[in-house]
């Protein structure tokens, strides 16, 4: 463009955050307008500088007092149109027709350098129309936990919401005990959930559903817009994204902990790091969440739950999918019937890489091998992450000693190794890319949180840095590789509320 000098003052006041909001243009019953609550004593904990730049936000500004005032909710920045989004959801199987952002406020959307639209949301900045009995605030612990784990998940290669910043509010929030309060700034491809569809389905609001399908398709699955049956194409696209997501996180020993339908993002990103945890000693029935008493969200149950959630999603689309309900149900059932196979493809892909199995091993064989191995790992109380980490070392020609030590009985390991060596020429590169050296170990997350409550954030910062490159071996982080001792082991995790 002639006459425009890069960086020159153009006379137009530039928005510090380049908002470009679309959700707020939807009908008013999609959300409720609300300003973040002001807090007495904001202190910055951390800004994710890389992510800020990706979003077109000056990281230095974000770290300044002016930027921090925005992150704390004390100033609504130019261009923001703060709203709480309405949604419903099945929580532990029971339907709640209205949930909504009770402790989250969407400031607005930005389009990042790659043209992707992203939400910027404050979590913990006060009550909204959907807060019910809650205070709309967040304690420091859950803020740090979400920061650490969502960024680690991203670095591990799993689609996830991101952490832009964490601040202390100078307030005390009342939980079981009084705790320091914080605000977390979350960035997401969108916050549209299965529960958002359920909200309008419960009200039999077909116009709203139609609009929501359109928004979701345009934002996340533009190819589906070309399909003959757009709602059906959306269902299939979300099924694929969710199957791949859950398979990927299972391959890391991750347990989401609250796979309620309001915590299933249509985008296919992991969302809501409440009582989530990474398995230490492998067991398929592993559960950490204190509130998951029926083990609904156990590690091995996640594919079933994923399918259950997708079925709830499909139900919301029935009125849009065909002329008659019978026809629509038939289409939905046919699509959902493909989920087990769809999941299997992703799951086999993940575990094939973890074991280094080459293409000459058939899918069936790879699946059976993975399944049998996992049974052995559970019986032998083997640390999931260390197992694959040491196996990668063995594949690279290292001694098997440290791998063998992970097992209760050395012979069992030796025997298993014999089988593994027999089945294939190993794909070492795949193993290196699939078997992290570092994961956000629960006891480390917990330790960082406890130290932060005591005023020391150094471990938190160290973990953020270390977990940015989880597949890279660094001697100075060798202590972070270790499994917890019996005393260190975290046995239960709690919701982020």
User: Residue 277: beta bridge partners?
Assistant: 255
Other residues' Cβ atoms within 10 Å of the Cβ of residue 337: 11
Q: Is 487 exposed, middle or buried (0-12, 13-18, 19+ CB in 10 A)?
A: exposed
> Pairing between strand 104-111 and 117-123?
antiparallel
Catalytic residue among 101, 119, 262, 383: 262
Task: Output the smallest distance, CB 91 to Mg ion, in A.
Answer: 9
Q: Say how far apart CA 395 and CA 145 lie, in whole Å.
A: 34
SS3 45: strand
269 binds ligand AMP (CB under 6 A): no
Shortest Å, Cβ 309 to Mg ion? 13
| Residue 180 found at the interface with ligand AMP (CB under 6 A) | no
Q: Is 258 in the site for ligand AMP (CB under 6 A)?
A: yes
* Chosen residue from 182, 257, 268, 274 binding ligand AMP by CB under 6 A: 274
Of 258 and 350, nearer to ligand AMP (C-beta) is 258
Residue 446: Cβ-neighbour burial (10 angstroms; 0-12, 13-18, 19+):
middle
The piece of 126-134, 204-212, 348-356, 381-389 that touches ligand AMP (CB under 6 A) is 126-134
Q: Does 121 bind Mg ion (CB under 5 A)?
A: no
Q: Residue 406 is encoded by which pair of tokens?
A: 């992970």
Binding letters toward ligand AMP, positions 284-313, x by CB under 6 A: ------------------------------
For residue 496, the partner it binds in ligand AMP, Mg ion, none, with Cβ less than 5 to 8 A by kind, is ligand AMP
Residue 101 engages Mg ion in binding (rule: CB under 5 A)? no
Binding track, positions 264-293, relative to Mg ion; x by CB under 5 A: --------x---------------------
251 sits near ligand AMP (criterion: CB under 6 A): no
Nearest distance from residue 88's CB to ligand AMP, in Å? 9
Task: Say whether residue 103 binds ligand AMP (CB under 6 A).
Answer: yes
Interaction of residue 131 with ligand AMP, rule CB under 6 A: yes
DSSP annotation of 30: G
Two tokens, residue 366: 């790879």
CB 442 within 8 A of CB 493: yes
Using CB under 6 A, which of 135, 171, 292, 477 touches ligand AMP? 135
* Residue 96 beta carbon to ligand AMP: minimum distance, rounded to whole angstroms: 8
Least distance (Å) from ligand AMP to the CB of residue 123?
A: 9
**Cβ 275 to ligand AMP, closest distance in Å?**
9
CB 24 within 8 A of CB 119: no
CA proximity to 145, closest of 166, 160, 128, 175: 166
Cα 256 from Cα 360, distance rounded (Å): 33
Using CB under 6 A as the binding rule, whether residue 272 contacts ligand AMP is answered as yes
> Does residue 79 come out as left (phi exceeding 0), alpha (psi in the -120 to 50 range) or beta?
left
Which lies closer to Mg ion via its Cβ, residue 194 or residue 279? 194
Closest separation in Å from C-beta 121 to Mg ion: 12
Residue 273 or 347 having the CB closest to ligand AMP: 273
In the block, tokens 């294939």 appear at 424
135 binds, among Mg ion, ligand AMP, none (CB under 5 to 8 A by kind): ligand AMP
Task: Name which of 209, 207, 213, 215 is nearest 119 in CA terms.
Answer: 215
- Comparing CB distances to Mg ion, the nearer of 67 and 100 is 100
Q: Which stretch binds ligand AMP (CB under 6 A): 128-136, 203-211, 445-453, 475-483?
A: 128-136
Indicate the residue among 125 and 263 with the shorter CB distance to Mg ion.
263
Task: State which residue, 101 or 151, has the beta carbon closest to ligand AMP.
Answer: 101
Coil, helix or strand at residue 283: coil
**Alpha carbons within 13 A on the beta-carbon side of 62:** 22
Number of residues this chain uses to bind Mg ion (CB under 5 A)? 2
> Residue from 21, 74, 198, 263 that binds Mg ion (CB under 5 A)?
263
List, in order, residues 6 or more apart from 370 with CB less than 8 Å away: 347, 348, 351, 354, 355
Among residues 262, 281, 292, 383, the one that binds ligand AMP under rule CB under 6 A: 262
In the complex, least distance from residue 296 CB atom to ligand AMP, rounded to whole angstroms: 14
Does residue 262 have an active-site annotation? yes
Contacted entry of Mg ion, ligand AMP, none for residue 257, CB cut-off 5 to 8 Å set by kind: none
- In the complex with Mg ion, the residue whose CB is nearer, 263 or 493, is 263
- Angle formed at CA 182 by CA 14 and CA 458, multiple of 5 degrees: 95
Q: Which range touches Mg ion (CB under 5 A), out of 9-17, 111-119, 138-146, 257-265?
A: 257-265
261 binding Mg ion? (CB under 5 A): no
HEC per residue, 182-244: EEEEEEECCCCEHHHHHHHHHCCCHHHHHHHHHHHHHHHCHHHHHCCCHHHHHHHHHHHHHHH
Q: Which of 69, 293, 273, 70 shows the shortest CA–CA distance to 160?
A: 273
Q: Is the sign of the CA dihedral 308, 313, 316, 320 positive or negative?
A: negative
CA 65 to chain centre: 29
Site residues (vs ligand AMP, CB under 6 A): 99-103, 130-131, 134-137, 258, 262-263, 272, 274, 495-497
Site residues (vs Mg ion, CB under 5 A): 263, 272
């Amino acid at each position: 463009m002639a006459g425009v000098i890069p960086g020159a003052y153009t006379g137009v006041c530039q928005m510090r955050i380049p908002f470009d909001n679309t959700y707020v243009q939807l009908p008013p019953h999609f959300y409720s307008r609300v300003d973040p609550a002001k807090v007495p004593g904001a202190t910055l904990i951390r800004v994710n500088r890389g992510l800020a730049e990706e979003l077109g936000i000056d990281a230095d500004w974000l770290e300044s007092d002016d930027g921090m005032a925005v992150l704390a909710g004390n100033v609504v920045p130019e261009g923001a149109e703060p709203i709480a989004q309405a949604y419903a959801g099945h929580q532990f199987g029971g339907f709640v027709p209205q949930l909504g952002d009770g402790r989250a406020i969407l400031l607005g959307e930005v389009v990042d350098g790659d043209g992707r639209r992203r939400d910027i949301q404050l979590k913990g900045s006060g009550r909204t129309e959907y807060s019910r009995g809650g205070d709309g605030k967040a304690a420091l612990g859950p803020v740090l936990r979400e920061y650490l784990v969502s960024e680690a998940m991203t670095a591990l290669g799993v689609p996830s919401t991101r952490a832009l910043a964490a601040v202390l509010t100078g307030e005390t929030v009342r939980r079981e005990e009084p705790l320091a309060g914080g605000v977390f700034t979350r960035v997401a491809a969108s916050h549209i959930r299965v529960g958002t569809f359920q909200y309008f389905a419960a009200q039999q609001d077909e116009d709203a559903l139609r609009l929501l399908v359109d928004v979701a398709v345009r934002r996340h699955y533009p190819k589906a817009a070309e399909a003959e049956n757009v709602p059906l194409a959306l269902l299939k696209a979300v099924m694929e994204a969710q199957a791949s997501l859950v398979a990927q996180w299972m391959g890391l020993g991750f347990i989401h902990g609250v796979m309620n339908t309001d915590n299933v993002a249509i985008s296919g990103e992991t969302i809501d790091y409440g009582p989530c945890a990474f398995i230490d000693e492998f067991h398929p029935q592993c559960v950490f969440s204190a509130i998951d008493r029926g083990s609904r969200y156990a590690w091995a149950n996640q594919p079933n739950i994923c399918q259950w959630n997708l079925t709830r999603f499909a139900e919301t689309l029935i009125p849009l999918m065909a002329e008659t309900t019978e026809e629509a149900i038939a289409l939905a059932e046919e699509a959902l019937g493909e989920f087990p196979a769809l999941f299997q493809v992703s799951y086999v892909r993940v575990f094939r890489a973890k074991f280094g199995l080459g293409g000459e091993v058939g899918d069936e064989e790879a699946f059976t091998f993975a399944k049998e191995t996992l049974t052995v790992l559970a019986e032998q109380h083997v640390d999931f992450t260390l197992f694959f980490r040491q196996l990668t070392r063995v594949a690279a020609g290292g001694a098997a000693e440290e791998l063998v030590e992970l097992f209760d009985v050395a012979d069992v390991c030796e025997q298993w190794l014999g089988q593994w060596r027999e089945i294939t020429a190993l794909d070492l590169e795949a193993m290196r890319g699939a078997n992290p050296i570092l994961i956000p170990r629960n006891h480390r997350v917990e330790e960082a949180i406890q130290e932060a409550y005591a005023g020391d954030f150094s471990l938190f910062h160290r973990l953020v840095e270390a977990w940015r490159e989880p597949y890279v071996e660094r001697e100075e982080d060798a202590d972070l590789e270790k499994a917890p001792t019996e005393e260190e082991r975290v046995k239960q995790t709690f919701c982020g509320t």
